[in-house]
Every structure is written in structure tokens, then in C-alpha cells.
Structure 1
Amino acid sequence: MKLEAVIFDLDGVITDTAHLHFQAWRQVACEIGIEIDETFNNTLKGISRGESLRRILHFGGCEAAFTQPQRDALASRKNGIYVDSLSQLTAQSILPGIHELLLELRERQIPTGLASVSLNAPTILNMLGIAELFTFCADAGRITHSKPDPEIFLAACDGLGVSAQRCIGIEDAQAGIDAINACGMHSIGIGAGLQHAGLRLTSTDQLTWPCLSAFWQHAQ
């Protein structure tokens, strides 16, 4: 069975903006009297902005103290801080091995998709200078459920016109691995501590075409 597409998560796979998210969330949390650290920030990996805010408010013991309009305002403020920080990104911010892999996939005419719940994903790809290397980017603004629901990965498959069962999905968060597996896609996890990935690698520089090809052949 031929590999029809490779679908990537963004943060932690293509580039690492976790520190930018953390700085933005920490500033907003501090303004409402909640202190968060990087350990807590790791629990926000791979989930939506709204759910991240809910967890922060719960962590601070004040989840019931904020109305939905107030939550929306906090989420919007966080996003504004984060978007301003994206100006720091350049081609040098692409994680090791990713640019080479994207070029190899294009040369082999294997479509590539992006499945990120970040509404800023198109901006980030443009800042990195690799937007043209993606065949299709799923629009996170059109989905209802965040990861671990498979909706964003299924949206990427629909946009590419491929079957999930004939794709590889690449993630660095457990919620993302669960989402990939839930739609029947073959999963590759990047980083320690991930469970149930079809293949787990320690870093993105191991994501080479020979690695993906061998994994695909073994999975058949």
C-alpha cells in the first residue's frame, strides 16, 4: 500500500514555540494573580487556547470567577502577546531535519499536511519560509473539537483527498498521538514519555525519509 501523505503537527515538530506560548500565558496569568511555571506549561502541550485557559484558571482555583466574555478577553490578550512574539521566528527556528524532510517529500511527490490547532499556523509557516512546502493546512478555525479528538487530522486528510489509513501523522504531544491513532493513521511520536506511538523518536533530526519509509513498510 502506497504512502499517500505525511501530516505534521506544528509546535514541537516543525518549530518550537512552546517558550513563546509560556511567556504569553505566564504574563496573562500573572495579571489575574496566578503563577505558572514551565512544568505546568508542559500540561498545556497540544491543546487549544480555550482549554489552556480553563486549566490555568482551574490551577489558580478561580475557574468559576470568570464569565465567558472575560475568558474570551483573556484568551485574546494572550494571543496578542504571542503573535507579537512571532517576529522572533526565522528559517533558523525550524527544528533539525524538518526542512530537509519536507524537500525530500516534495521531490518524491508525497503530499504534506499540517494539523495544528493553532490559529496562527499559517503566519508561523510564513515566518519560517516553508509555507509552500505544505500541500494543505487544516483550518483550526473550522473544527469543533481539539486534540485528542481526531477532527483536525481528519480535516487534513479531507483537504488532501487521502485516506487516514494511508498516512503517517507526526506529533510531539500525547493528545496528538491519541488523535492520530483515533483516526486510524500511523503515528510517529517525537520525544520521551509518549505512549502508543507506532514509532517513537527522540528528536526531529531522526525524521528522515529512510526512517519514514522503513516505518511505513513495517506497518503494512
Structure 2
Amino acid sequence: MVKTVIFDMDGVIVDTEPVHRYAYHAHFAELGIDISEHVYNSFTGHSTKNTYERIKELYGVEGEVNDLVLRKRFLFNESFDTKPDLELIDGVRELIVGLHESGVELIIGSSASKSTINRVFKRFELYPYFTHIVSGEDFPKSKPDPAIFLSAASLAVCSDKEHCVVIEDSTNGIKAANAAGIRVIGYKSENSKQQDYTGADYIVRDFRDISAKYIMDL
């Protein structure tokens, strides 16, 4: 029986990808670099810090990684705060509420920065449902490194990984859950691009098709 669900955030709880895309590409233009769609999609699931470390390797961009991250974060926050049509993924609020009311512990394990997570949680009033928030900015390596999920599982009241499941939408996130030895539900939405779900234990295409009971009985 599942007692703890670890949610990724971007692409699972809220689709902030269009905002991230705008911020990254606006910054790439400022830096004078042209990044293909294939390379950009390969960053999915990585923290902003690790993304810019990779960009410096690939394109020889000058400047400190922390400064690059702060500039992208500024562009993201500016766009996020002015975007009126940003909504939660269809069906995910009902699933979160149902799991919470059923006594399942919910934890965030996201590569996003704490400031981005807090912006989403404040805007959509999600704090009451989650006991812990684990951000990728606290770890030297991004997913597929398992550290985020291992940390999240260790914080759970029931820290037995057998009673835990991760919900992820990216190849790197699924690999991280696999490496952590935690079962994973792959959320394969219509917006998923170039992601490999073969490592997922279960695949869901629409949160409205499942319930809290479905997850608890896994």
C-alpha cells in the first residue's frame, strides 16, 4: 500500500514549461547563443544550475554560473507574475486533495529552485497538502542522480521505500526514481516531448482518469 507520494512539480503539478522556455530563450538571445530544440529538450529534469553548467561546456559561455542562473530566474519571475493563464495540470488538484484526505503523505521532489516552488505553492495555495519540499538547488547534481528522491523519501513518516511512489514526467526524473529504488508513475501528457517512459512502473496520461485509491492500491 502506498503511504507516501513524491511529486515532481514542473510538468506534473503545473505546466511552467512555457514560462521557463520564454526565460531561457530570452536569456540565450542575450548571450548570443542558438540552442536547438533537441539540445533544449535534453535539459528537461535538470536544475537551472546544472543546465547552465552544461551550456558553458557546450557553448563556451562566459560568466559565473550563479550570475547566469540569477538572470534567468529574474526573467522567469517577471514572466510568471504577469502570466494570467497559468493553471494547475488538469485533475492534479483533485488528486492531491484526495490523497491528502486519505492520509497519504505528500512531498515535493523537484529540480526547480525554492523560489519557483514557493511561487507556485503560494499562487495555487498548495502548502496545506505537503509535509516537505525538496528542491534540486540543495544538491550538487540534478536528476537522474537519485539524491532528491532519496532525501524526500527519508523525510517521510513512513520512510520504507516499498510504500512510496514518485510521479514524474521526464526521462531524467524516471531514471532518478529508478536509481533511488522507488516505484515511479510516468505522467505522459500531450505536452511531453522526447521523453522516454520505458523505466516507469506505471504510465498515466490524464490525472482525471485515476483516483487516490488507484495510487494507494499500487
TM-score by length of 1: 0.85
2:133 counterpart letter in structure 1: C
CA distance in 2, matches of 1:199, 1:185: 12
Q: Which residue of 1 aligns with 2:209?
A: 206
Q: Which residue of 2 aligns with 1:176?
A: 173
Q: What SS does the corresponding residue of 1:181 show, helix, strand or coil?
A: helix
Q: Does the 8 A contact of 1:188 with 1:199 survive in 2?
A: yes
Unaligned runs of 5+ in 2: none
CA distance 1:81–1:92, shift in 2 (3 Å): closer
CA distance in 1, matches of 2:123, 2:82: 9
How much does 1:206 deviate?
Answer: 3.1
Q: Which residue of 2 aligns with 1:4?
A: 3
TM-score by length of 2: 0.86
How much does 1:171 deviate?
Answer: 0.2
Q: Does the 8 A contact of 2:3 with 2:105 survive in 1?
A: yes
Q: Which residue of 1 aligns with 2:30?
A: 31
Q: Deviations for 1:157-207, whole angstroms, at most 9, x for unmatched residues?
A: 122232222201000001100111111111100116412100012233334
CA distance in 2, matches of 1:91, 1:108: 30
CA distance in 2, matches of 1:107, 1:89: 31
- Over aligned residue pairs, what C-alpha RMSD do you find? 2.2
State yes or no: 1:72 paired with 2:60: no
Moved more, 34-43 or 13-22: 34-43
How much does 1:135 deviate?
Answer: 1.7
How much does 1:38 deviate?
Answer: 4.7
Q: What SS does the corresponding residue of 2:32 show, helix, strand or coil?
A: coil
CA distance in 2, matches of 1:202, 1:166: 23
CA distance in 1, matches of 2:121, 2:156: 18
1:170 counterpart letter in structure 2: I
Q: Does the 8 A contact of 1:91 with 1:127 survive in 2?
A: no
Q: Which residue of 2 aligns with 1:130?
A: 126
CA distance 1:154–1:198, shift in 2 (3 Å): same
Q: How many percent identity over aligned positions?
A: 27
Q: Which residue of 2 aligns with 1:17?
A: 16
2:30 counterpart letter in structure 1: E
Unaligned runs of 5+ in 1: none
Q: Does the 8 A contact of 1:111 with 1:160 survive in 2?
A: yes
2:206 counterpart letter in structure 1: S
CA distance 1:172–1:88, shift in 2 (3 Å): farther
Q: Which residue of 1 aligns with 2:183?
A: 186
State yes or no: 1:155 paired with 2:158: no
> Structure 2 matches for 1:81-92, cutoff 5 A?
81-88=75-82
How much does 1:92 deviate?
Answer: 6.2
CA distance 1:126–1:91, shift in 2 (3 Å): farther
How much does 1:139 deviate?
Answer: 3.9
CA distance in 1, matches of 2:43, 2:201: 23
